Amino acid sequence: MKLILLGAPGAGKGTVAKLLTKMDGSVQISTGDILRAAVAAGSDLGKQAKAAMDAGDLVSDDLIMGIMGERLKEDDCKNGYLLDGFPRTIPQAEALKVLLADMGEELDAVVNIDVPRDVILDRLTTRRTCSDCGEIYNVKSNPPKEEGKCDKCGGPVVQRDDETVEVISNRLEVYNEMTAPLAGFYDKEGMLLTVEATSSDAVIDAIKAKLAS
Ligand code: ADP
Ligand code: ZN
């Protein structure tokens, strides 16, 4: 399947994407993960992206389209992909449309995961992430077996630099302003599936039903 996962920070895009990859071998492509890896590696890309990321602002559309133009042409995309955190602006969505048309590809759906703001805030402040493999934990509902240590790879499980209360509220504001309009964009294209859900299983069920119809 080829899907875009839309939703505010903390809506569960990453978790849903990870569950979906197990269903049919499609690959999760998270621009946030790609950028964090670049920052950790200290590459040019990372250097260009870091300040915006730390402030909870968006990285430039050109930088993102450069990354995604390459990424979508890689071999592992043949079995489908779940775009997690991309596109995030109308210009990115327009550019993606051109890119896919050039590649002769079509998306199955755009899934908008709609979660109440209080749930989002609670999730983001309690979320922890493995800095080595990106596995996501939650101090309340899903802590690693050993505190601060990833169950999967043993890497350090930490709070992201952009998960302080101030940066989180900026990320939510940026989302409402820049990314929320994408729901209308894809609705017009006839591709939007909005799922109001607080559990990832409910989101998966809605996606399965949509793809089967
Ligand atoms: P979230 O949990 O907020 O969805 P991500 O992990 O997707 O966060 O992204 C982290 C940061 O990386 C964003 O706050 C932003 O600075 C940058 N970023 C990721 N994807 C994009 C994108 N498509 N366009 C612009 N900036 C992006
Ligand atoms: Zn890990």
pLDDT tens digits for 13-59? Answer: 998 999 999 988 999 999 999 999 999 999 999 999 999 999 999 99
Residue 47 falls within a domain, yes or no?
Answer: no
Which residues are identified as catalytic? Answer: 13, 88, 127, 160, 171
Asked if 63 contacts 45 with a C-beta cutoff of 8 angstroms, the reply is yes
- Residue 159 token pair: 């709070």
Asked if 13 contacts 113 with a C-beta cutoff of 8 angstroms, the reply is yes
Residue 58 falls within a domain, yes or no?
Answer: no
Question: 106 pLDDT band (50/70/90 cuts)?
Answer: very high
Residue 49 falls within a domain, yes or no?
Answer: no
b/e sequence 90-104, b meaning 16+ C-beta within 10 Å: eebbebbeebeeeee
**Backbone phi, then psi, for 110, in 5-degree steps?**
-115, 115
- Residue 17 token pair: 């994407």
Mean pLDDT of the chain: 94
Residue 43 falls within a domain, yes or no?
Answer: no
Residues 6+ apart with CB under 8 A from 95: 61, 65, 87
Q: Which residues line ligand 1 (CB under 6 A)?
A: 9, 31-32, 35, 52-53, 56-59, 64, 85-88, 92, 162, 171
Strand order in the sheet with 157-158: 136-138, 127-130, 157-158
- CA dist., res. 205 & res. 211, Å (int): 10
Q: Is the pLDDT of residue 199 over 90?
A: no
**Please, is 166 exposed, middle or buried when counting C-beta atoms within 10 Å of its C-beta (0-12, 13-18, 19+)?**
exposed
Q: Is the pLDDT of residue 158 over 90?
A: yes
Q: What is the pTM of this model?
A: 0.89
Which of 35, 48, 84 has most ligand 1 atoms within 8 Å of CB, for mutation? 35
Nearest to 117 by CA among 1, 11, 45, 6: 11
79-88 average pLDDT score = 97
Query: What CATH number is given to the structural domain containing 21?
Result: 3.40.50.300
Q: What is the pLDDT of residue 1?
A: 93
Residue 104 falls within a domain, yes or no?
Answer: yes
Question: 156 pLDDT band (50/70/90 cuts)?
Answer: very high
Question: 161 pLDDT band (50/70/90 cuts)?
Answer: confident
Do the bridges between strand 109-114 and strand 136-138 make them parallel or antiparallel, or are there none, so unpaired?
Answer: unpaired
Structural domain harbouring 205: 2-26+79-212
Ligand 1 centroid, distance to 42 Cα (angstroms)? 17
Residue 147 falls within a domain, yes or no?
Answer: yes
Q: Is the pLDDT of residue 198 over 80?
A: no
Residue 46 falls within a domain, yes or no?
Answer: no
Residue 57 falls within a domain, yes or no?
Answer: no
**Backbone phi, then psi, for 30, in 5-degree steps?**
-110, 115
* Number of domains composing the chain: 1
Sign, CA dihedral 18-90-188-112, equals positive
Q: Is the pLDDT of residue 213 over 90?
A: no
Q: What is the pLDDT of residue 5?
A: 97
Sign, CA dihedral 58-59-61-66, equals negative
- CA dist., res. 202 & res. 199, Å (int): 5
